[in-house]
Amino acid sequence: MDLPTLLGRNRALVRWGLSNVLHRPERRTQALIDEVYREALEKRAGKAYASWARSEVTWHGPRTETESRLHELAVPTLLIQGAKDKLVPVSFARRAHALIAHSQLAILPGCGHWVQRDDPQAFLQAVEPFLRA
């Protein structure tokens, strides 16, 4: 069973799913829960994610190794990481930042995996100067 199908079963599962990507409880509003629930009920919800996960995610981690090629990035790169991310450790972002020559790293305190929702203002404060430069 794929994630959207599982989440689409009830709003309690959506609430639980959001607790894994949003650190701040006040961001897990009933309106957001309802929106995610409605999206999960859509006929093709999550099909692309499910296809990617089946081919890429293994019990031992990702199938594709990309770290060895990060040094090849030759464009300015902004990495944004939530300090409280339960899905991707902050150490991964720090390592990527060290390997990408023209990178900037913004670690947003009090944010989980979905930083744009956890703290939209902090997200914009990290992105806007990068885009202007």
CB of 70 closer than 8 Å to CB of 100: yes
For residue 112, how many other CB atoms are within 10 A of its CB? 24
What is the 8-class DSSP label of residue 107? Answer: E
Q: Where are the domains of the chain?
A: 1-64, 66-133
pTM for the whole structure: 0.82
Model confidence over 62-81: pLDDT tens digits? 888 899 999 999 999 999 99
- pLDDT band for 41, please (50, 70, 90 cuts): confident
CATH architecture of 66-133: 3-Layer(aba) Sandwich (3.40)
